[in-house]
Structure 1
Amino acid sequence: MTAFGGGTLREFILGNIPFYFYDNNYIFVCLAGYIFSIAVYKVFNKINKYVLIVDAIGLSTFAFIGATKADQAGLGAFAIIFLATLTPIGGGLLRDIAIREVPQIFHRDFYASPAIFLGVFYAIGRNYMDNLILVYCLLFMTFALRLCAIYFNFNLWRPWRNKNV
């Protein structure tokens, strides 16, 4: 669910059938990745910072894919920002809802924000920049923003709560 959730939601919103319904090879790749991750869980647990780097690459890549798909569908700026955000976070969102947890993106972690920034700058830059330059700039910016959030422990503002209420 986590691997395909965001892209599946995006494709349904765009009125498309998800690609893996046509080509089962993607399911087998995810299954192999799942089995591999279970087999080497303890090793991954020890190299957490590398996993976070790979996750930052995935976040920026999938956010860009979401923005591009919305743009190719002829949608406006809001849809570009929305799908740039939904694509990388949708799977985790569905996972957390399925296990009856408050979704991680509603905690203080600075995870969805880089995807939102990518969507905003894609919506602005698509009309003013060369496509290749836009791709590299946005992927680097989103990746760097996520890494800075991890390194400097960025957190989203949490409203003050009255404990007596």
Structure 2
Amino acid sequence: MKADYSAHGRQAGDACGRGDKKNQMARLNYNMYKNISDNTFLGICELLIPIETMMKEILAPLGWRLHSPVAESDALAVDFIKTDTLLSGNIGITFDDLAKRTTFTFYITKSFDEKGIRYFLRDYILKNQEIIFFENRVEELTNLALEKYDAWNNYDIRMHGEKIKLSSYT
């Protein structure tokens, strides 16, 4: 039985290009992951769509935007971006390309630029967890990520994050 993703206006079999062979080939130009087959890629893509939808319901009203819908991306990632006058951030889930394991990492980043330097802080809410773990905890994990994001200030980012010299700074 196909899952209903009517909020996206498509069925699970169609979401990631699996509806027919022509659609599938158009969807998957290449598979950048070395530890999964093309079919596994498409199956994982379908699993991420409901997670993306749940995260969007929480994050979009708070000014976060989806970077690229997983059903249209070459990456198995759900990535939300927030940019305001001074700060930028990401909250998302990425596929861990590990041999013989299908796991995901839930991450958060926050950064700001100052005098040609990008100060960048990253944390992992969870690493190397199976998708079933995320499916049942999307709201809880997204809210935890938001709490961390909101708690980080410029001092935290500067003192505990990475420094990256910006090449375009003059």
Q: Normalising by the residue count of structure 2, what TM-score does the alignment of the two structures yield?
A: 0.30
| Larger helix share, 1 or 2 | 1
Q: Normalising by the residue count of structure 1, what TM-score does the alignment of the two structures yield?
A: 0.30
Structure with the bigger RCO (C-alpha within 8 Å, sep 6+) is: 1
| Larger strand share, 1 or 2 | 2
